[in-house]
Structure 1
Amino acid sequence: MDSDAKIQEARAALKKKLGGNTKIGGKGGARRTKKVNKKADKNEDKKLKQQLKKFNVQSLPDIEEVNFFKDDDTVMNFKRPAVDFSVRDNLLVVSGNPDTKSIETMLPDILKQVGPEQAAKLKDVVKKDGGAAAADDDDDDDVPELVGNFEDASKKE
């Protein structure tokens, strides 16, 4: 009986070491199912391309970067995306693998690319988050300040 207890302890230790009740091979019992990570289905890509052909889209070459600003102060950044458009249907398709980044990490590069409304929002975000040094107004040095009133000068002529 003492040997039975030792055998049971050895079996329990072996089960613990090898992963419990999961059987990988051998006779009888259920086999372990392999978990498969599903990637983008190629059929979905084909269906998407067929639908885009119906809209008569044209590709825009040489686009290096596309940024989508989200409400939670993050940016979806596409490097070298495939961009297709249709003017007639007011359709723009950006496809590629995005990287989701925070605005603070992309701030120096983004300031040169955004319009005045987005620049104001970015400055508000930076002020809200503690005022990073990257949001300086050094980019405004390229635009000269308005010195005189041009309407008065045109009335004199």
Structure 2
Amino acid sequence: MSEAPNPIAIYVDADACPVKPEIYRVAERHRLKVFVVANSFMAVPRESWIERVIVSDGFDAADNWIAERVGRGSIVVTSDIPLADRCIKAGADVIGPTGKPFTEASIGMALATRDMMEDLRAAGTVTGGPKPFSARDRSAFLQALDVAIQRLKRAGFTG
């Protein structure tokens, strides 16, 4: 007799995540557990399927909490590229808030670009941050999240 698959869970790197309301709506529709991970108090809906996790304010505490718990059947929402890399290596699906999925094929280039931009900012060559979050980004995120959930359900994970 085979062991039942684990349910799908969504892990949110919450401190600067602009799509938390969308995550809650999609998770409710699919009956998924959501872990909202931050290093300070953050208001979240009072639902049994949403768990607020407050970690210490130590360096990478939220990233470590998430990376130590994810695996196949987990969806991680983050714009933190080193965290995305760790989660991909653990077998999780990883989506940026703009809907960009991070994959084994794309994470190397994302890390290299991040490092290059960090160097350019340190040298004063680049002074701006990322472009403003848009309605198109929100829509792309919702589509990417739905694709990830459907793929996991087809693979036998439960909602």
> Relative contact order, CA 8 A, sep 6+: which one is greater?
2
Superposition TM-score tier, normalisation by shorter sequence: under 0.3
TM-score, with length taken from structure 2: 0.20
TM-score, with length taken from structure 1: 0.20
